[in-house]
Amino acid sequence: MKSEPTDFSIDDLEKAPKQTIDWYGIRNYQARNFMRDDMSLGDLAFFYHSNCKTPGIVGIMTVSKLAYPDRLQFIKDHKYFDSKSPPDNPRWLNVDVKFVKKTKLLELKDIRNYAELKDMRILQRGNRLSITPVSPEEWHFIYSLIA
DNA sequence: GCCAACGTTGGC
DNA sequence: GCCAACGTTGGC
């Protein structure tokens, strides 16, 4: 799960109340569907810093609440307001995630270098999704490297 | 700041 | 339903 550290970083998550945050602002259907359809309570996720000097994995968090309507879509004048999202059938959802631990930084350029990780969704050409699945094999490989 | 690669929008 | 124009993402 990607976040720009200038917007919300792993340190922000560690310092957040209950070390938990609603993963707000996802406005892409595929990324939304990953949260809605493929995440269960207790699932683990890598926290990835994007659009920064050294993009890469910086920590681990866990899904602490299943997908529910993103509250920001209904707040007029908010950056994430969506006038086309009907309150009785909200278009955008988010899960809650809870801090687990910081890890050693695994830079994107290093992710690219491991043959074991060459099929990761995040590396696929033109990938712009801020939430992508990680296979069990990829998870264990990365975990043993950095955690 | 640039720009490739997408996703979305809206006219037709 | 097509597709051009536009907006966004995110590495570099």
Regarding beta strands A2-3 and A93-107, do their DSSP bridges make them parallel or antiparallel, or are they unpaired? Answer: unpaired
What's the pLDDT score for residue A130? 94
Secondary structure letter of residue A24 according to DSSP = -
Secondary structure letter of residue A88 according to DSSP = T
Q: Is the CB of A72 under 7 A from strand C?
A: no
What's the pLDDT score for residue A84? 86
Length of chain A: 147
Instruction: Considering only residues 76-135 of chain A, list those whose CB is below 7 Å from strand C.
Output: 108-109, 128-130
Domain extents in chain A: 2-146
Class of domain A2-146: alpha beta
Which tokens in the block code for residue A55? 């993009």
Q: What is the pTM of this model?
A: 0.93
Q: Is the CB of A5 under 7 A from strand C?
A: no
Q: List all residues 6 or more positions away from A83 whose beta carbon is below 8 Å from its beta carbon.
A: none
CA/C1' separation A70–C1 (Å): 31
Which residues in A118-136 are b (16+ Cβ under 10 Å) and which e? Answer: eebebeeeeeeebbbebee
Q: Write out which nucleotides of chain B lie closer than 7 A to a protein Cβ.
A: 5-9
* Angle of CA points A128, A46, A65, to nearest 5°: 100
The rounded distance, in Å, linking the Cα atoms of A116 and A136 is 12
pLDDT by residue for chain A (147 residues), tens only, comes to 999 999 999 999 999 999 999 999 999 999 999 999 999 999 999 999 999 999 999 999 999 999 999 999 999 888 899 988 888 889 999 999 999 999 999 999 999 999 999 999 999 877 889 999 999 999 999 999 998
Instruction: Tell me if residue A129 falls in helix, strand or coil.
Output: coil
Which residues in A18-27 are b (16+ Cβ under 10 Å) and which e? Answer: eeebebebbb
